[in-house]
Structure 1
């Protein structure tokens, strides 16, 4: 799903009005009606008090359309105009007149110094105060109104975006933004719904279709894309009937040190389970027996050193190399990797201490194969690109880094973001159960295994992150968040693949048979 910028949404509004030969007020009517339909489907006439707070711009106009339809359908509605300025948008005024004329109910005007209305804990608040166009400081009395919303503990639904939240900026304070239980967003989700510092302002969100021009949606390139099942199904490469293990590449996993052979085992298992035809692990001698006994499907090459990697030398010709898991940062290991990086031409997926070593020797970044994949956790990312002031600064720095070195960077988190050049691919799968030792090693193996099969590194990254999260989503149904471990993610990869092509009713039947 494309995530449009403010400017693209405004342009889409304009083209929709022009191409469909409607007025902007008609488009606002669609938006407010879509919210009403959402409400009506869930409430079915229930007489819970609904408090609709409308600003004086287009977001407020959407709220007025909603209020008018709810009143006509007999709901218990109280409508308020948050009068923070003397200026009103044209379509707000049109709908202000419509609600007065058609319902004979005049909204209550709220201005500075007025008492705020009583709101019960079991009431519903609709926040339609500010939309995506907010570009000015918020009056103190309006911030107190937001605080009043919060203190009421009523269910709060925001129209398009929680009021006070901007699409390209982290708020200066939590007090500046409405805390929504649910947000109904038009056309596209907003990037701020997925960033750690701003996602907290809405617990859930949903996109409503308001009949945007389909040609515009299809043709417009966006900086950010949300990756779900519909986006990854076209990435999947079916297997030919006459294929064999040699058709699906050879993954080499280089890593491990004394006490950290498990990281290589997890990455190697993940690479094979995701479909790599062959997998070889390159480890210090202490890893030979654990790997041969615990993972018999893998081939093993050992360093001459017992406890750490001191030299990387092999005669096999791998399709791709996954490097860094559990490898450590001993001086001989650093020296060995520096020599390896200078000589290697094979595609790379680099994780953990492989990234830490690169951050200490940034000149090596310039000689990495094109589209090398880096999978840092937050601290490793900071060592790589330096600190950042907020999530937007972080994204900008990663994009700059990606362009400078022609690498793919995977920012791991609740919504893992794959960054390549100026593009962001935001993952929709995964859960808190992945906050466990070894889950990053598994992701490294998955991406390595996909590249081995011939997937482009960027596609392997986006697809691999999705499968990693989806496998965890399926596994957590059996194990819960706390008991999910990295091995479960590997074990459920097959179900993650099958889920791509299961219809919803098939998924439901499968759940019932468990």
Structure 2
């Protein structure tokens, strides 16, 4: 699913009006009616007090259309105009007149905190104060109104975006944004719904189709894309009846050090479970018995050094190399890493200490093969790109880094984001159970195993992140968040593959919206 920018939404609005030969007021009527249909289907005439707070722009106009329909259908509605400016949009004024024509209970003008209405916990708040066009700080008394919403503990439904939320930068303060229980977003969700600093402002979201021009929506290229089952299903490469292991590549996992052979074991098992035809581990001698005993499906080559990687000497030409898990950053290991990069001709996936050595010796970045996949956790990412001031700044820094070195970067999180060629792929699977030791090693193995089968590095990364999260989502049903282990994710990877061909149910759709 495409995640449109503010400018693209405005262009969709303009083209829809032009190509469908309608007025902007007609499009606003359509949006407000869809809001009403969503609420009406769930309320079924329930006489719960509904407080509709409308700004004086187009978002407020949408709220006025909603309030009018709620009123004419017999709901208990109270409408308020949040008068934060002397300017009014044309379509707001049209719908202000329309709502006054259907009720004697005209909208109440709010101008300061002394006029805030009483709201009870069992009431419903509709937030239609600001839309996507907000480009200046929220005035103090409107912030106080948002605090009033929170203090009421009432269910809060935001129109398009929680008011006060920018689409391209972090808010000045969290209190400057409405805390929405649910957001009804027009055409598509917004990128801000998936970033840690801004996602907190809406618990759940849904998308309303308001009839934007489909030709434009389908043809425009967006910076960000939301990755769910529908998107990854098109990446899946089926196997034929006469397939054999030689067709699915040979993955080489390089890593491990004394006390950290488990990381390599997890990565190797992840690669095998993702479908790699063969997997070989290159590890220090100290890990030979442990790895051979714990994972008989993998082959093992040992370094001459007992406790660390000191000289990467492999005769075979692997389909792909996954390097860094449990590797350490010993001076001998660094020399071996540099020598390997100079000679390597295979696609490369780097994690953990492979990334730490890059961060410490940035000249090595120029030796990476094109489209090398980097899978840093937050601290490793900071070592690579420096400190960021907010999530949007982080995205810009990662895009610049990925472009400079022609690499793919995975930003791990509740909604893991893959960045390549200035494009963002926002994942919808995964849960807090993945915050456990070894889950990153498993992801490295999965991506490596997919590349070995012939998936392009970007395809393998986007697909691998999805499968990794989906396996955790299935496994957490048995183990819960606290008891989920990295090895459980591997155990449920097959179920994640099978789930690709299961018809999605309502629970699947809700999980995609919640990212859990």
Shift of 1:106: 1.0
Does 108-117 or 227-236 show the bigger shift? 108-117
1:72-108 Cα offsets, whole Å, 9 max, x none, are: 1111110000111111101111111111113343111
Determine the C-alpha separation between the residues in 1 that align with 2:36 and 2:114: 29
Determine the C-alpha separation between the residues in 2 that align with 1:16 and 1:505: 32
Aligned to 1:474: 474
Shift of 1:114: 4.0
**Does structure 1 residue 448 correspond to structure 2 residue 448?**
yes
Determine the C-alpha separation between the residues in 1 that align with 2:449 and 2:506: 28
**Does structure 1 residue 377 correspond to structure 2 residue 381?**
no
1:268-304 Cα offsets, whole Å, 9 max, x none, are: 0010001000000111111111111110000000011
Query: Secondary structure of the equivalent of 1:273?
Result: helix
Determine the C-alpha separation between the residues in 1 that align with 2:415 and 2:473: 13
1:433-470 Cα offsets, whole Å, 9 max, x none, are: 00000000000000000000000000100000000000
Aligned to 1:171: 171
Shift of 1:177: 0.9
Aligned to 1:150: 150
Equivalent pairs counted in the alignment come to 508
TM-score (norm 1): 0.97
Determine the C-alpha separation between the residues in 1 that align with 2:223 and 2:174: 27
Query: Secondary structure of the equivalent of 2:279?
Result: strand
Query: Secondary structure of the equivalent of 2:268?
Result: helix
1:43-86 Cα offsets, whole Å, 9 max, x none, are: 11111111000000000001011111111111111000011111
**Does structure 1 residue 281 correspond to structure 2 residue 281?**
yes
Aligned to 1:217: 217
Determine the C-alpha separation between the residues in 2 that align with 1:75 and 1:19: 35
Mark the runs of 5 or more structure 1 residues left unpaired by the alignment.
509-514
Cα pair 1:499 1:507 within 8 Å, conserved: no
Shift of 1:506: 12
Aligned to 1:47: 47
Shift of 1:331: 1.2
Cα pair 1:283 1:300 within 8 Å, conserved: yes
Aligned to 1:238: 238
Within-5 A mapping of 1:330-349: 330-349=330-349
Determine the C-alpha separation between the residues in 1 that align with 2:286 and 2:431: 34
Query: Secondary structure of the equivalent of 2:172?
Result: coil
Query: Secondary structure of the equivalent of 1:178?
Result: coil
**Does structure 1 residue 100 correspond to structure 2 residue 113?**
no
Shift of 1:31: 1.0
Aligned to 1:59: 59
TM-align CA RMSD: 1.2
Cα pair 2:137 2:172 within 8 Å, conserved: no
Mark the runs of 5 or more structure 2 residues left unpaired by the alignment.
509-516
Aligned to 1:123: 123
Cα pair 2:113 2:145 within 8 Å, conserved: no
Query: Secondary structure of the equivalent of 2:418?
Result: strand
Shift of 1:507: 9.4
Aligned to 2:407: 407
Within-5 A mapping of 1:6-21: 6-21=6-21
Shift of 1:504: 3.5
1:325-361 Cα offsets, whole Å, 9 max, x none, are: 0001111111111111111111100000000001111
Determine the C-alpha separation between the residues in 2 that align with 1:174 and 1:405: 35
Determine the C-alpha separation between the residues in 1 that align with 2:281 and 2:136: 57
Query: Secondary structure of the equivalent of 2:101?
Result: helix
Query: Secondary structure of the equivalent of 2:501?
Result: coil
Shift of 1:186: 0.5
Query: Secondary structure of the equivalent of 1:501?
Result: coil
Aligned to 2:390: 390
Q: 1:419 to 1:157 in 2, by over 3 A?
A: same
Determine the C-alpha separation between the residues in 2 that align with 1:301 and 1:73: 74
Determine the C-alpha separation between the residues in 2 that align with 1:378 and 1:175: 26
Query: Secondary structure of the equivalent of 1:35?
Result: helix
Shift of 1:193: 0.8
Determine the C-alpha separation between the residues in 2 that align with 1:461 and 1:367: 21
Query: Secondary structure of the equivalent of 1:301?
Result: strand
Determine the C-alpha separation between the residues in 1 that align with 2:243 and 2:28: 55
Query: Secondary structure of the equivalent of 2:212?
Result: coil
Aligned to 1:299: 299
Cα pair 1:254 1:324 within 8 Å, conserved: yes
Determine the C-alpha separation between the residues in 2 that align with 1:52 and 1:63: 7
Aligned to 1:161: 161
Determine the C-alpha separation between the residues in 2 that align with 1:362 and 1:237: 36
Cα pair 1:56 1:88 within 8 Å, conserved: yes
Determine the C-alpha separation between the residues in 2 that align with 1:434 and 1:406: 28
Determine the C-alpha separation between the residues in 1 that align with 2:480 and 2:11: 44
**Does structure 1 residue 25 correspond to structure 2 residue 25?**
yes
1:352-371 Cα offsets, whole Å, 9 max, x none, are: 00000011111111111100
- List structure 1 runs of 4+ shifted beyond 4 angstroms: 505-508
Determine the C-alpha separation between the residues in 1 that align with 2:24 and 2:161: 19
Aligned to 1:436: 436
Does 234-243 or 212-221 show the bigger shift? 234-243
Cα pair 2:410 2:417 within 8 Å, conserved: yes
Determine the C-alpha separation between the residues in 1 that align with 2:264 and 2:2: 36
Cα pair 1:99 1:105 within 8 Å, conserved: no
Determine the C-alpha separation between the residues in 2 that align with 1:119 and 1:179: 15
Determine the C-alpha separation between the residues in 2 that align with 1:240 and 1:376: 35
